[in-house]
Amino acid sequence: MLITGIKSRPVYDELTPMASGLNHIAAAQGSGGKPLVRLLTAMTPEQLASTTVLYSTESFTGHNFLSELQQFAVRELRVFPGNADAVGGLDTVLAAAEMGTRLYLAGSEGFIGTSMQVATSYGMHRDEVLREHAGSFVRRVWCAHCGHYSENVAHRVFVCPGCELNLIVRDHYSGRLAAFQGVKADSEVPGELPANEELDT
């Protein structure tokens, strides 16, 4: 169900090897390991040898593709217990990246969004990055009232940990904030909340 007529959802790609890349960095979390396995399978031995893989085993769906990722002869495989750790690892790897580096991201919208913030901070352009959504539809939500970020929101209505207002998650995504917008759910009729459905699109 759309809350407003505005729907600015991110548009995603399918991960395929970028022939123009001299070096490749592939980062994924949880279910994002599946498109990463497909990507690595499609790479040439030379591309694999120039690829650094970062994988977070944190998963919202229970899927873990670490054993499959360990089968590829990549330059380096770095494993992280959580998504924030993997994004931090991506920051470290990109800090040392050279011209001609191509980036591949796969996983939840929150993971992809925060990873894109890091990539953008290093001046990576959109044509140097491929992003594929995989797994859960949990969202990263920014409260329009107090500025708090809530990670892994799974329902349309939730209580903001920052200001304790009941928020409704709008279908407006901000690439700059890497988050969907949360606004007061009962602003028109105080105390009257919309149905609290699960986010599934």
Q: Which two tokens stand for residue 97?
A: 């990246």
What does the CA dihedral 72, 76, 81, 85 come to, rounded to 10 degrees?
-140
Q: Which two tokens stand for residue 96?
A: 């040392």
Domain range list for the chain: 23-133, 139-184
What does the CA dihedral 192, 194, 195, 199 come to, rounded to 10 degrees?
-140
pLDDT digits (tens, 9 = 90+) for 75-91: 999 999 999 999 999 99
Q: Which two tokens stand for residue 53?
A: 């893989």
pLDDT digits (tens, 9 = 90+) for 115-163: 999 999 999 998 999 999 998 778 889 999 999 999 889 899 999 999 9
Residue 2 has pLDDT above 50, yes or no: no
For position 6, what pLDDT does the model report? 53
Mean pLDDT of 89-100: 97
For position 4, what pLDDT does the model report? 47
For position 62, what pLDDT does the model report? 79
Taking domain 23-133, whether its CATH number is 3.20.130.10 is answered by no
CB 157, CB 43: distance < 8 Å: no
Q: In what order do the strands lie in the sheet with 157-159?
A: 149-153, 139-143, 179-184, 166-174, 157-159
pLDDT digits (tens, 9 = 90+) for 19-78: 999 999 999 999 999 999 999 999 999 999 999 999 999 987 778 999 999 999 999 999
For position 3, what pLDDT does the model report? 47
pLDDT digits (tens, 9 = 90+) for 163-189: 999 999 988 888 888 889 999 998 888
Q: Give the predicted TM-score (pTM) of the model.
A: 0.83
Half-sphere exposure of 21 (CA within 13 A, CB side): 26
CB 80, CB 57: distance < 8 Å: yes
